[in-house]
Amino acid sequence: MEINKLIEQCKVGNAAAERELFQRYANKVFVLCRRYVRQKEEAYDLMQDCFIKLFNSLEKHDSNKGSFDGWMHKICTNLVLQNLRKKRRSISLTFPDEMPEPDDYLIQESFNEISTELLMSSIQELSEGYRMILNLYIFEGLTHDEIGDILGIATSTSRSQYARAKKLLKNKLQAHLVINNTTDERRLA
């Protein structure tokens, strides 16, 4: 069924349509939630909250103003951020000691060897501040100005924190690649 028809059916309370909508987008929303929180269970709860809010807000959705995907994405992101704010009143930015420069070439060349699950866990391992900025910039496609507004930080802070988050993520991925390569070399030996 076309998405707009599906949404119309959901608006009139068609349970089957709601289920279909859920099955279509549950995975996407769940992945979104997992990127923001470390615990899988917490992400699962968040996903359910997102769908409750989505179903409750469907009346407000106007297909002429934009795609459902974008609208849904925005609602879910807002809810996740709201939830994170609820637990903490301010974004805690952490500043680890000097990090080594990652080997971009190595990571880029070997990126396909890295599983998505590993990417996910690497993102989740970032501290909350880094994780949020990275998510908002990379996956939500926001500018640093917008991120600064949302998180209540300066634009320059968002920019520098993003740079550090990215560096940290690369280091994590590189470490994993090095370990894997070493293991492979040992196997060969």
In the complex, what is the shortest distance from the CB of residue 66 to another protein, in angstroms, rounded to a whole number?
19
Site for another protein in 119-148 (CB under 8 A): 119-120, 137-139
Structure tokens at 1: 């069924």
**Minimal distance in Å, beta carbon 189 to another protein?**
31
Q: How far is the CB of 83 from another protein (least distance, A)?
A: 9
Axis-axis angle for helices 3-11, 15-36 (nearest 10): 110
Specify the residue, 5 or 88, whose C-beta has the smaller distance to another protein: 88
The only residue of 1, 5, 39, 52 in contact with another protein, by rule CB under 8 A: 52
**Of 4, 88, 182, 183, the one binding another protein by CB under 8 A:** 88
Nearer to another protein, 14 or 160 (CB): 160
Instruction: Work out which of 55, 61, 124, 180 binds another protein, going by CB under 8 A.
Output: 55
Contact between 35 and another protein (CB under 8 A)?
yes
In whole angstroms, the minimum distance from the beta carbon of 21 to another protein comes to 10
Contact call for residue 3 and another protein (CB under 8 A): no
Place of tokens 């929303």: 29
Nearer to another protein, 163 or 175 (CB): 163
Using CB under 8 A as the binding rule, whether residue 109 contacts another protein is answered as no
